[in-house]
Chain A
Amino acid sequence: MKVAKRTFDAVIVGAGGAGMRAAVTLAESGLKTAVISKVFPTRSHTVAAQGGVSASLGNSEPDHWTWHMYDTVKGSDWLGDQDAIEFMCKQAPQVVVELEHYGMPFDRTDEGKIYQRPFGGHMSNFGEKPVRRACAAADRTGHAMLHALYQRNVRANTQFFVEWLALDLLRGVDGSVLGVIAMELETGEVTVFQAKATLFATGGAGRIYYSSTNAFINTGDGVGMAARAGIPLEDMEFWQFHPTGVAGAGVLITEGVRGEGGILRNASGERFMERYAPNAKDLASRDVVSRAMVTEMNEGRGCGPAKDHVMLDITHLDPKTIMTRLPGIREIAIQFAGVDPIKEPIPVVPTCHYQMGGIPTNYHGQVMAEDGVVPGFYAAGECACASVHGANRLGTNSLLDLLVFGKSSGESMIEQIRKEPAALPEIPQGEIDKTLARLNRLDQQKQGASVHETRLAMQRSMQKHAGVFRFKNLLQEGVEQILAIEKQVQQTEIKDKSQVWNTARMEALELDNLIEVAKATIVSANARTESRGAHVRDDAPDTPEHPDGRDDVNWLKHTLWYRDGNRLSYKPVVMKPLTVEPVALKKRAY
C-alpha cells in the first residue's frame, strides 16, 4: 500500500474541547498545526456536556480556588495529584474568561456576569456548604463551548483534517514520538503525519460498557494507540458511573438538574440521599450518589415493576426555571424517557460516563512513562490522566480539564517545537509496516468474528464484571473473559471491502482500541484490592481500620498498566501541591 507523508510542526489528534483549545494556542502562535478528527469538530463528544464548567469566579457568592482544590482532592478520594489539581483550579477563572472572550454564550447574572449554579461536591470553605461554581450556558454548556472553540479555530485558520481516523502512534528508535499514521475515511488512503510534537486529545472510551452515556465515537482511540506503542495506562480501574442516565436509553441527564433543585426519590417517594449524605444530600459526589441508588435498588426500593431505577423529580420546580435553565433536559426526557419533567419525574439509573484514568501526563501535558517524559508526546482531556480526577471526578471538572490542559499542552508544545532543529528524523519503516499489517490482516480475514457481536460480548462482560460495585470473584472471571474476547478481536472480519467511507473497517479498527481499554480496566481493577472513589469492592468493606475500605498504607498509589503481558506497576501519588499546604488525608464524607 502506498503511504503518503505530510509534515507539520504540531499534530493534534481529536477535535473536542481539549484538542481545539490546544489548536487555538498553536495556530495563533503561527506554528504549522494539523488537527486530525474522525468526525467534523462540532460532532465531538464535548458537545454533549450539559451542566457547566467549574471556576471559582465567585459571581454569586464568595468562592476561592483553594476551596475548589480541596473539593477536587476530596472528590478524587486523594488519588489525584495535588500539583496538577492546584494548577487546574488556579487556572480555572482565567481559561473560563478566555472562553467568554472567544464568544461562549454563557448565561448571565443580573449584573451581567457569567451565571453559576451549584453542582455535586462543589462546596465553600473547605467542605462546609454548597457553592455556585459551575459556569453554565443553560444545560448546553458543552455544545456552546465546543462551538465557541471551533469558531475561534476558524478565526485562527487552523488546518483540520476532518473525517480522518488516526491508526497508530509512530515512535523513533530512541522512543520519541514522531507523529501518527492516519486513514482518510472518504478514500481509504493512509498518510503519515510527521510532527515535532504530537498531542492526543481523543476523548474517553465509555463504549467499553454496554450501558453508557457516551457517543458511539467514544472508543478510546488515543488510549488504544498509546497502549500499542508501549505507553503505560494510568488508573484505568476508575470509571465514573453518572447517577442520572435515562433508564433504558443511557442518555445523560445533567447533575445541573439536582443543582437547580432536583431530588432523587425511591419507590416510596423518599428522598433517600438524606440517609447517605446528610450534608450534601443529592449533591454529594457522583460515586457516592450512584452507589446509594444501586443500594436502594438492591434492597428492593427501586421504582417500576422490576425495581430497576429511581426517580429524578423536578416537578416542584417553577416551570419557568425548567424552561430557561434546563430546556435541553426537558427535551431529552420527552424524547428518551417519554415523560415531561414539568409534570412527571424522570426514571434514571447510574450509567457509565467518564474515564478517570488514561495516558499518564504531568500538568504540562507531557506524557510520562516509567523512565520520565516521552519526548514529543502530549495528551490532554479524557484520554489523559494528569491526574486531576483521581478515583472520582467532580462534575464540571471535565470541561475545565479540557480548557486548562488543552492550553498548557499547546504552550508546552510551542516551547518544545521552538527548540527543535528544522530537520525531522527518519521514521523507522517497521513502525509504518505494523499498521499496514493490521489493516491487511483485517482486509484478508476469512471465517473471522463479527465486529458487532465481539464488541457486544466485550460490553456485556465489562458491565457485569466491573460495574458500580465490584466483586472479587467477578473481577477474576472478568479478566479471563476479556482476555478470551481479545482473541476474537484479533480475528474480526468485515464483509465490506470498499475503499470509500468504509464504516465497517472503521468500527473494526475502533474495536482494536476498545479492547485495550477493557483489558487495562479489568486487569487494573482486579489487582487493586481496596475500595477508593469509583472502585468499590466487596472484599474491601468499611472497617474502623480502613474507613470506606480505603487502604492508604498499601494503595495510595497510581496503577500503571502495560499492554505487554498485562504487566502492572505503581507510582506514588503527588501529595505536595505547587504553592499551598497539602490537603491532608481523611475520611470522605458528604
Chain B
Amino acid sequence: MATRTLNFKIYRYDPDKDASPYMQDISIEIDSTDRKLLDVLVKLKAKDDSLAFRRSCREGVCGSDAMNINGKNGLACLTEIDSLAQPIVLRPLPGLPVIRDLIVDMTQFFKQYHSIKPYVVNNSPAPEKERLQTPEEREELNGLYECILCACCSTSCPSFWWNPDKFVGPAGLLAAYRFIADTRDEVTNERLDNLEDPYRLFRCHTIMNCVDVCPKHLNPTKAIGKIKELMLSRAV
C-alpha cells in the first residue's frame, strides 16, 4: 500500500508535567485508508499514548472532536487530510481554558447554552396524543435543531472570546431561536426578555465566523438576526 509522510505541529500541554504549553513537531506515515484527520490522530496516539483529545462517533454527529485545524475550527472526523496544507497545525479550540493538549474546559460554553432554557416550555395540559404541528411549522426548526454542541462556532467568535461570561454566543443563540421557533413553546416573550441585555444577544456584530466554521452547515447569524427582528417588532 502506498504510504506518505504527514507533518504536524501540535499544541501540547500536560499541567502535571509541563511548566508551559509548547508546539510539538510530529511526522507520521499514513496510507490510503487514512482519509480523515481523526484517522491520523488515532494513529498518532498509537505511537504516543500521551496525546490527549476527545473523540466518539467519528461521523460528525456527537461533537466531541472539535479543534482548531490550520487556524480554523472544525471536527477532526469530518476533515479530509488531503484538504490540509502541511505542516498541519492543531490547537485546542480558542478562547476556552485548556485542560490538556487538545482538550478544553467547556464549562462556560455549556453554561451559556443552559442559560437560554434549552427545553420546550408548554404549560397547557398535555393532550393524550402528540401536540400537532404542520409540516411547515416543523420546517421552521430545520437548520436549528441539528446543532451538535461542538462549540466550533462560539469559540471562533471574537465577541465570545472577549465576553464568554456575558455573551450567549452563536451556539446558545441558535438554540434560543430553536425554541422560539417551535410552535409548541409558549414562552417567546420570556425568552426575548432573557436576551434583552447589552451583552447576551447584542454583542453579536455579524462577523459570521460561526457560519464559516459550522460543520453542520448551520447559520447562527441568521437565527440571531431573527431574534433581533422579534425584539424590534415587539418594541414598536
Contacts and interface: CB of A to CB of B under 8 A. Distances in A.
A135 to B, nearest CB: 9
Among A137, A494, A501, max chain B CB count under 10 A is at A501
B82 to A, nearest CB: 11
A154 B61 contact: no
Interface string A136-161: 01001001100100011011000000
Nearest to B145: A105
B206 to A, nearest CB: 26
Contacts of B148: 42, 47, 143
Contacts of B15: 500
A108 B16 CA distance: 52
B132 A500 contact: no
Interface in A495-540: 495-496, 498-504, 507
A251 interface: yes
A451 B49 contact: yes
A450 B100 CA distance: 22
Contacts of B53: 503
B99 A504 contact: no
A500 B100 contact: yes
Contacts of A140: 61, 146
Interface in A99-129: 100-103, 105-114
Contacts of A42: 62-63, 148-149
A2 to B, nearest CB: 17
Interface stretch (B133-141, B162-170, B197-205): B133-141
A450 B57 CA distance: 23
Interface residues of B, number: 58
Contact of A154 (B99, B114, B132): B114
A495 B50 contact: yes
A251 B46 contact: no
Contacts of B33: 248
B226 interface: no
Contacts of A452: 45-46, 49
Given A101-B126, A504-B49, A498 B17 contact: yes
A335 interface: yes
Contacts of A216: 55-58
Interface string A328-370: 1001100110000000000000000000000000000000000
B62 A47 contact: yes
Contacts of B14: 498, 500
B166 to A, nearest CB: 21
B23 interface: no
A499 B16 contact: yes
A291 interface: no
Interface in A433-489: 450-453
Nearest to B121: A155
Given A43-B63, A112-B132, A216-B56, A496 B120 contact: no
A45 B64 CA distance: 11
Given A107-B138, A336-B59, A503-B52, A154 B103 contact: no
A97 interface: yes
Contacts of B149: 40, 42
B118 interface: yes
Given A103-B119, A216-B56, A108 B133 contact: yes
Contacts of A43: 54, 56-57, 62-64
Given A101-B131, A111-B132, A114-B130, A500 B50 contact: no
Contacts of A328: 61
A155 B114 CA distance: 9
Contact of B45 (A251, A501, A502, A503): A503
A186 interface: yes
Contacts of A450: 46
Nearest to A453: B46
Interface in A245-303: 248-249, 251-252
B78 interface: yes
A332 B134 CA distance: 28
Contacts of B119: 102-103, 151-152, 154-155
B158 interface: no
Nearest to A496: B50
Contacts of B35: 249
A77 B219 CA distance: 47
Interface in B83-134: 99-101, 103, 106, 110, 114, 117-120, 122, 126, 128-134
Contacts of A507: 49
Among B35, B54, B56, B134, max chain A CB count under 10 A is at B56
A48 interface: yes
A217 interface: yes
Given A103-B119, A111-B132, A498 B16 contact: yes
A417 interface: no
Contacts of B222: none
A495 B49 contact: yes
A95 interface: no
A7 to B, nearest CB: 25
Contacts of B133: 108, 112
A27 to B, nearest CB: 13
A94 to B, nearest CB: 9
A365 B46 CA distance: 39
A151 B55 contact: no
A336 B38 CA distance: 13
A315 B71 CA distance: 38
Contacts of A40: 64, 106, 110, 149
B126 A48 contact: no
B38 to A, nearest CB: 9
Among A137, A143, A248, A495, max chain B CB count under 10 A is at A143
Contacts of B56: 39, 43, 45, 215-217
A103 B120 contact: yes
Contact of A108 (B62, B120, B134): B134
B107 to A, nearest CB: 10
Contact of B61 (A48, A101, A110, A137): A48
A450 B48 CA distance: 11
B182 interface: yes
A140 B142 CA distance: 11
Among B52, B110, B179, max chain A CB count under 10 A is at B52
A506 B126 CA distance: 43
Contacts of B55: 216
Contacts of A155: 117, 119
A496 B119 CA distance: 41
Contacts of A151: 118-120
A501 B110 CA distance: 19
22 contacts: A39-B64, A42-B149, A43-B54, A43-B63, A44-B62, A45-B56, A103-B119, A103-B184, A105-B141, A106-B130, A107-B135, A112-B137, A113-B132, A144-B145, A216-B55, A252-B59, A332-B59, A495-B48, A496-B50, A498-B17, A502-B52, A504-B49
- The 5 A-B pairs at the shortest CB distance, nearest first, are namely A103-B120, A112-B132, A504-B49, A496-B50, A151-B119
Given A97-B129, A331-B60, A503-B45, 4 more contacts: A40-B110, A47-B62, A103-B120, A498-B14
